[in-house]
């Protein structure tokens, strides 16, 4: 069965510092991968997605993620974090040819001044 | 933003009472989902619908039922609420394009069962 692991429950970074959030997945076929962000009291918003092609994908708000098949990873990065990036981030894998999505447990990002 | 609303946004109820949460969409998307969000668990799928009157169970469906009589509405019912069902509930919709599935989420309903 497919699964998603986000090893870090929470991360704290300084404003202006770089960020990397880790995500590992388990899926037998070519995965469809997503990163969502959830601000406090809000629903989830899609940051970026990977289906095929270039393994480095660009998203909204200056985020990018890199798909590494050999490591079963899809890590999220941002070169310079802003205080407004403080939120919870969810990695997810979608069924190939299906319509269900499996979410990781989430990583909460704290940004300090 | 996708047109998804959830009602109520907050609800406090007592153990043993029935509760119905409503999800309404204006996007005419075929697929609709109910998730619950709990600390340390991310989002877990309760039930989903792939068309009017077509629904199926997700991974945490015990104690929940759903109905979809119209494309735009997906109802989640807790027949007899328990404290373990205290959670934040999210509705999502999708219109799979090709083989993949991007979901759009509603604002959530915070349910407290006393």
pLDDT over 70 (residue B35): yes
Residue-level pLDDT, tens digit, chain A, 113 residues? 788 999 999 999 999 999 999 999 988 777 889 999 999 888 899 999 998 888 899 999 999 999 999 999 999 999 999 999 999 999 999 876 667 888 999 999 999 99
Interface contact A105-B40, CB threshold 8 A: yes
Interface contact A49-B100, CB threshold 8 A: yes
- Distance between CA A87 and CA A40 in Å, rounded? 7
pLDDT value of residue A32: 87
The residues of B whose Cβ lies within 8 A of any Cβ of A are 4, 31, 35, 40-45, 48, 50, 58, 90, 92, 94, 96, 99-108
Distance from CA of B18 to the nearest CA of A (A): 25
Asked if A90 is an interface residue toward chain B (Cβ–Cβ < 8 A), one would say yes
> pLDDT tens, A15-40?
999 999 999 998 877 788 999 999 98
pLDDT over 90 (residue B92): yes
Q: Are B37 and B90 in contact (CB under 8 A)?
A: yes
pLDDT value of residue A53: 83
Pairing relationship of beta strands A107-112 and A10-14 according to DSSP bridges: parallel
Distance from CA of A71 to the nearest CA of B (A): 22
- Distance between CA B36 and CA A103 in Å, rounded? 11
> pLDDT tens, B94-107?
876 655 678 889 99
Interface contact A43-B94, CB threshold 8 A: no
């Amino acid at each position: 069965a497919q699964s998603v692991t986000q090893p870090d429950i929470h991360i704290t970074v300084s404003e202006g510092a770089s960020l990397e959030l880790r995500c590992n997945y388990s899926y037998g076929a070519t995965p469809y991968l997503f990163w969502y962000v959830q601000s406090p009291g809000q629903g989830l918003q899609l940051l970026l997605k990977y289906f095929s092609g270039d393994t480095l994908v660009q998203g909204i708000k200056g985020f990018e993620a890199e798909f590494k098949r050999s490591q079963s990873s899809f890590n999220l990065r941002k070169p310079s974090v802003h205080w407004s990036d403080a939120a919870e981030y969810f990695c997810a894998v979608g069924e190939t040819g299906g319509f269900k999505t499996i979410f990781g447990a989430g990583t909460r990002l704290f940004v300090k001044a | 933003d996708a047109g998804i609303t959830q009602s109520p946004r907050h609800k406090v109820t007592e153990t043993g009472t029935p509760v119905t949460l409503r999800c309404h969409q204006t996007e005419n998307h075929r697929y609709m989902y109910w998730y619950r969000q709990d600390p340390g668990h991310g989002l877990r799928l309760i039930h989903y619908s792939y068309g009017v009157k077509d629904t199926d169970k997700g991974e945490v469906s015990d104690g929940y039922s759903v109905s979809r009589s119209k494309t735009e509405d997906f109802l989640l019912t807790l027949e007899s609420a328990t404290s373990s069902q205290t959670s934040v509930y999210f509705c999502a919709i999708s219109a799979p394009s090709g083989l993949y599935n991007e979901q759009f989420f509603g604002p959530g309903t915070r349910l407290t069962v006393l």
